[in-house]
Chain A
Amino acid sequence: MLFRRIVLCALLVGALAGLLVSAVQHWQAIPLIASAEVFEGAAESTEEAAALVTSAHEHDHDHAGGDTHAHDAETWAPDEGTERHVWTAVANILTAIGFGLVLVAAITTWEHLRGRPLASAGTGLAWGAAGWLCVFGLPTLGLPPELPGSVAAPLGDRQAWWLLAAASGAAGLALLAFVRGPLRLAGLAVLVLPFAVGAPHLAGGPFAGYDLEIARQMEALAGPFALATTIATAVQWLALGGLSGWAVGKWVRPALTDWTTTP
């Protein structure tokens, strides 16, 4: 019963937040991705680009044609235009539903353990801000937003560090927010941990391996892209948090009181 309510709330919250963020991205971040893709493929693959910084321009002609992606041409990819936008929106909505499930579950647990009606759109915003810090704020401090075509450390290393940063953020914030006494300060240590480990980076920077002129143009896109992703993810998480808090108060709370009145 409780599980079903949490899932239904997360589906609603995720669909709304995912559609909202898709609209926001459509006029700010997506055009920047399209601009960067013009340059993507002007350099060789990641490892070679790092090794061949100086000679990369010799390979320009190999990829200068229609192959804007460094991926296997055999695998399926959405067509340009509407199909691609639809898949992006679907992915956004699924992501928002996934984050919504975690958020609704966390707010439900919080209200249940405190034993009084706390979930609301207002407190949800604080949860959303915390979520944004965990999956955008902290990971981005170590791994700046990547435009298509930018080169970076091996994918597995970056994914592992991203997960470490997000998990440390969640654990550190939870310690700071919910624990009394000296153990609370351990939260600060947990927050700093991923940065003590250090995010994986390549020596040459994100546009190593590109022609100097192309690198300069791509660098000019990086700043606006970082700003666009910051705004889009903040909108997404505030919407997720506010809607989750509201939904828990409206639909999950009735299922919770069953538990709390009969301990």
Chain B
Amino acid sequence: MQQQATLHIARPKSALLAIAMPVLTAALLGAVIVYGVGFSPIAAAHNAAHDARHVNVFPCH
């Protein structure tokens, strides 16, 4: 959404398309990692990250 919002300010669409793939892939990878640590329902993942989930204020239990 960030990309959408900034699209019309400085550069033509091609400028965004030029970096869209690496940037979106990186952001998606980041989201998957955060989900795995903070939201995954797998019990072992929950137990390992239990304190981190509480301190990062992800919903827990």
Residues in chain A within 8 A of chain B (CB atoms)? 2-3, 6-7, 10, 25, 29-30, 33, 46, 69-72, 75-78, 84, 87-88, 90-92, 94-95, 97-102, 104-106, 108-110, 112-115, 135-136, 139-140, 143, 145-148, 152, 155, 158-159, 162, 170-171, 174-175, 177-180, 228-229, 232-233, 256, 259-260, 263
Assembled-state Cα–Cα distance A114/B16 (Å): 11
Q: Are B5 and A175 in contact (CB under 8 A)?
A: yes
Q: Are B57 and A233 in contact (CB under 8 A)?
A: yes
Contacts of A179 in B (CB 8 A): 5
Closest to A45 in B: B61
Q: Are A178 and B9 in contact (CB under 8 A)?
A: yes
- Majority SS at the chain A contact face: helix
- What are 17 sample pairs from A and B whose C-beta atoms fall under 8 A apart? A6-B22, A6-B23, A7-B26, A33-B55, A46-B61, A88-B49, A114-B10, A145-B54, A152-B61, A162-B58, A170-B1, A170-B2, A177-B5, A228-B55, A229-B56, A259-B15, A259-B19
Assembled-state Cα–Cα distance A178/B32 (Å): 26
Closest to B53 in A: A91
Least Cβ–Cβ distance between A22 and chain B, in angstroms: 8
Contact size range, B: 35 or more
- For the complex of A and B, the 10 pairs showing the least CB-CB separation, nearest first, are A101-B30, A98-B33, A91-B52, A3-B22, A91-B49, A158-B59, A98-B34, A77-B47, A75-B43, A102-B30
Q: Are B26 and A178 in contact (CB under 8 A)?
A: no
Contacts of B51 in A (CB 8 A): 25, 30, 33, 84, 88, 91
Residues of chain B in range 1-59 having any CB-CB distance to chain A below 8 Å:
1-3, 5-7, 9-11, 14-16, 18-19, 21-27, 29-34, 36-39, 43-44, 46-59
Q: Are B55 and A232 in contact (CB under 8 A)?
A: yes
Least Cβ–Cβ distance between A57 and chain B, in angstroms: 21
